[in-house]
Amino acid sequence: MSAACDIQKRREIVFHPLPPGQIQLALDLLGQLPGLKTSALGPLSLQIEYCIADHCLEDIETLLWTQGLHLEGSLLIRIKRNLAYYCERVQRENLGKPAPRTKNYPAHIEAWTKRPHGDHDETPAEWRRYK
């Protein structure tokens, strides 16, 4: 059973029925990528397994599309596809290193305390001492 933050992904890619023979062409093409396991699920779909650190579904499907293969474009498939793209994009960003600190914070704090800033009362002093 896999955890919610698992970096090994198993996805299904569904192809349009026309032109025929796309599954075998996709298997041959994706078989050349290191770290990617492929298998045919049926006449119009294949299953891929990969590590999110190496590949993402969006890049794999873009590769297939640029090679002239036609992916299924039904509404449900497009929603699933875009949800997977988003989740993988966020997960890949979270796997990366945090952004380096570019500001010297103690120097900024010191400069902030030395210069006048923001919250000043514009009321004249004689009005503030009204008795």
pLDDT score recorded for residue 2: 47
* Mean pLDDT to the nearest integer, 82-107: 79
CA dist 131 and 24 (Å) reads: 92
Quote the domain boundaries for residue 26.
Answer: 8-95
CA dist 120 and 123 (Å) reads: 9
Give domain status of residue 33, yes or no: yes
What value, to the nearest 5°, has the Cα angle with vertex 27 and ends 23 and 28?
120
Give domain status of residue 23, yes or no: yes
**pTM for this entry:** 0.69
Give domain status of residue 50, yes or no: yes
Instruction: Indicate which CATH number applies to the domain containing 67.
Output: 3.30.70.100
pLDDT score recorded for residue 120: 64
- Mean residue pLDDT of the chain comes to 85
Q: pLDDT for 22-78, tens place per residue?
A: 999 999 999 999 999 999 999 999 999 999 989 999 999 999 999 999 999 999 999
CA dist 62 and 91 (Å) reads: 19
